[in-house]
A and B are shown apart, each in its own frame.
Chain A
Amino acid sequence: MRMTASGGLRVDGVVCAALPDGRYQLSVHLVAAMVALRPLADAVRARVERDVANAGLADRLGPVDVAVEDVRAQGEARP
Chain B
Amino acid sequence: MILVLRAVVRLLGFLLIVALALVGLGFALAALLGDELGVQLEGSAVSRWLERLEGKDSQVLEAIIGGGMVLLGLLLLIGALAPRRERRAVLEQGGHGTLDARRRPLAQMFTALAERTRGVTHAKAKLRLGRRAGHGRLVLRAERPRTAESTAVREAVRSDVGELADAFGLKTRVQAPLGRRGRRVQ
Contacts and interface: CB of A to CB of B under 8 A. Distances in A.
Interface of A: 25-26, 32, 34, 37-38, 41, 45, 63-71, 73
Contact of B105 (A25, A26, A71): A71
Nearest to B104: A70
A26 B105 CA distance: 22
Given A38-B99, A63-B98, A66-B100, 8 more contacts: A32-B105, A45-B97, A64-B96, A65-B98, A65-B99, A66-B99, A67-B101, A69-B105
Contacts of A70: 102, 104-105
Nearest to B101: A68
B100 to A, nearest CB: 5
Interface of B: 88, 91-92, 95-102, 104-106, 108-109, 112
Main secondary structure of the interface of B (DSSP, over half): mixed
Given A69-B105, A70-B102, A71-B108, A63 B91 contact: no
Main secondary structure of the interface of A (DSSP, over half): strand
Contacts of A37: 91, 99, 101
B101 A38 contact: no
B115 to A, nearest CB: 11
Contacts of A25: 97
A28 B92 CA distance: 15
A38 B105 contact: no
Nearest to B91: A37
Contacts of B102: 67-70
**Most A CB within 10 A of own CB, among B88, B91, B101:** B101
